Amino acid sequence: MIAAYLVLLIPLVGILYFALAGHREDTGKINVRFNGICLLATIWLAINVLNQGTIISSGRAFLIDPFNVYLIVLTAFVGFTTSIFSSPYMEHEKEIGKLSDNRLKLYHSMFQGFMLAMYLVLTTNNMGIMWVAMEGATLATVLLVSLYRTPESIEAAWKYFILCGVGIAQALFGTILLYYAAVQIGDGENALLWSVLYENADKLNPEILEIAFVFLLIGYGTKIGLVPLHNWLPDAHSEGPTPMSAVLSGLLLNDALYAVVRNKMLVDGATDSNMAGYLMMGFGMLSFLVAAILLHRQKDIKRLFSYSSIEHMGLMTFSFGIGGPLATFAALLHMTVHSLTKSAIFVTVGHAAQLAGTQRIDQIRGLIKTQPKIGWGLLIGTIAIAGFPPFGVFTSEFLVLLATMHSYPWLTLPLLLGIGIAFAGLFRHIQPMVYGDRPEGQNPITANLWPVTIHLALVLWLGLAIPGFLAHWFSQATLLISGSTPL
């Protein structure tokens, strides 16, 4: 349990350190160290869970089970590699005069604040605290979206703040309804603990829980980026600094989906109908298709990939909605590979944009000729996210298709269509960017592509063979969510 407390304590110290300590030249490197230590703590935690199974802290405030433990490690890992990327990237932004020292201080402090909120969402056992932490994640990142203080970034941040704030308020109403249903069966102060709710799920009033789930899905769904609540997402991703886009896409969206799935487990326990599943399938499919089509009409490279995130989050939501063991397993795997691939892509996109001096797709040209590393990184990343074998995204998408064919055969058609449309949408933009001649005056920059290499190698590994302990967690989590194992 000490490991879990450490995971929360380290970013907390980080916030205070960056906020209070005076100016230093190497804040970026210190940020890497904070995230590195935190990654070690999460690995320690993961080993504990592997040996002992589910851990509940003494006051029942924290709960670590196979479902959230791998997300915690993933969060720490993506946070760590993103901070490695962020250190020279932000230094470069400072050199070209886009940022001042004070803003950099704010950036690092809020980076840690965001990590803290993410860990809290994942580790807490209390549905109310989960909401508080989710809102905290918005509050921590909203000033980072407007970090450059351009009119566009302020607009994006305002939209993000208002839309996510109002959206997440719906989730609080859902949580209040959940609590209302829970106090009717007793246990006052502890009634919002997930472990208590889960044990007594069959006694909860199904009508109230169904209404509550609608609000919870809309609330957390705003953060997942489900259509039609997605408007904030491309804006926030494109106007904020790139490391922020990487963690938003790789972590925040996942954690919001995690919150929805936790709530779905309660609703499924209370009701006999598959109402929660159908809602998730509907919203997921809609997001998937709309985002795939919108991919074609983007002019900003970061907006392009944020629509790709919406598309993949839609697919995961859809897959969790189907709800069988195979679909759940596929969704869990897809969460992992998408988050690794997407953060790697945002890292390369950040470098590509610095190289070309713009984020406009029609002005980024000849990446491979200028700096092969960046060009190939972007190309391979895009191949991976589009779902080509042998990368992990292929495996998970294939499993989603299999599960769909099994349960709702006629839905395979729109799925395949969507995957095709998205593939075309990505490649029509990527191909001219990576190939082609090098524009006048475009020179290589200092870029650290280690995070990209490691992420893509992991995705490749997951596509070829899932390591034993991970498969064990996935099937444990599948058992927890869907009631049986896929293997």
Partner 1 sequence: MNIEQLDFYTQAILSMAALVGLTSFLMLGQGRLLRLIFVFAMQGFLLTLTTALAAYSLNNHHLYISAVLTLALKVILIPWMLRREVLKMNMHRDIEALNNKTAVMMGGASLMVFSYYVLHPVVQSSSVVMLNALAVSLSVMLLGMLLMISHRQAIAHVVGFMSIENGLFFAAIVATNGMPMVVELGVAFDVLVAAVLFGIFFLHIRTSIDSLDVDLLNKLHEVDK
| Binding footprint of partner 1 on the chain (CB under 8 A) | 126, 128-129, 131-133, 135-136, 139, 142-143, 146, 149, 151-152, 154-159, 161-162, 165-166, 169-170, 172-173, 176-177, 179-180, 183-184, 188-192, 205, 207-208, 210-211, 231, 234-235, 238-239, 294, 297-299
Which of 205, 412 has the CB closer to partner 1?
A: 205
Residue with tokens 């713009």: 358
Whole-angstrom distance, CA of residue 447 vs CA of residue 279: 43
5 is written with which tokens? 């407390």
Q: How far is the CB of 103 from partner 1 (least distance, A)?
A: 12
* Half-sphere CA count of 185, side-chain side, radius 13 A: 19
Q: Which residues contact 442 (CB under 8 A, 6 or more apart)?
A: 355, 356, 365, 366, 370
Q: How far is the CB of 461 from partner 1 (least distance, A)?
A: 36
Whole-angstrom distance, CA of residue 393 vs CA of residue 151: 37
What 3-state class would DSSP assign to 124? Answer: strand
Q: How far is the CB of 205 from partner 1 (least distance, A)?
A: 5
Whole-angstrom distance, CA of residue 51 vs CA of residue 37: 21
Q: Residue-wise over 472-485: b if at least 16 C-beta within 10 A, else e?
A: ebbbbbbbbbbeee
Whole-angstrom distance, CA of residue 250 vs CA of residue 228: 21
Among 69, 143, 23, 18, smallest CA distance to 473 is for: 69
Which of 142, 353 has the CB closer to partner 1?
A: 142
Q: CA dist 233 to 39, 248, 317, 376, 451, Å?
A: 27, 9, 16, 27, 24
Q: How far is the CB of 270 from partner 1 (least distance, A)?
A: 12
Whole-angstrom distance, CA of residue 169 vs CA of residue 220: 9
370 is written with which tokens? 């200028």
Q: How far is the CB of 169 from partner 1 (least distance, A)?
A: 5
| β-bridge partners, 124 | 62
Cβ proximity of 315 and 334 under 8 Å? yes
Q: Which residues contact 242 (CB under 8 A, 6 or more apart)?
A: 89, 302, 346, 347, 349, 350, 353
**Backbone phi and psi for residue 230, each to the nearest 5 degrees, phi listed first:** -95, -5
Please tell me what DSSP assigns to residue 252.
I
Q: How far is the CB of 208 from partner 1 (least distance, A)?
A: 6
Cβ proximity of 353 and 305 under 8 Å? no
Find the distance separating the first CA and the last CA of the chain, reported in whole Å. Answer: 30
Whole-angstrom distance, CA of residue 341 vs CA of residue 360: 22
145 is written with which tokens? 């979206």
Q: How far is the CB of 337 from partner 1 (least distance, A)?
A: 27
- Angle formed at CA 164 by CA 177 and CA 308, multiple of 5 degrees: 115
Residue with tokens 């490649």: 427
Please tell me what DSSP assigns to residue 203.
G
Is the Cα torsion angle 299, 108, 172, 59 positive or negative in sign? positive
Cβ proximity of 259 and 134 under 8 Å? yes
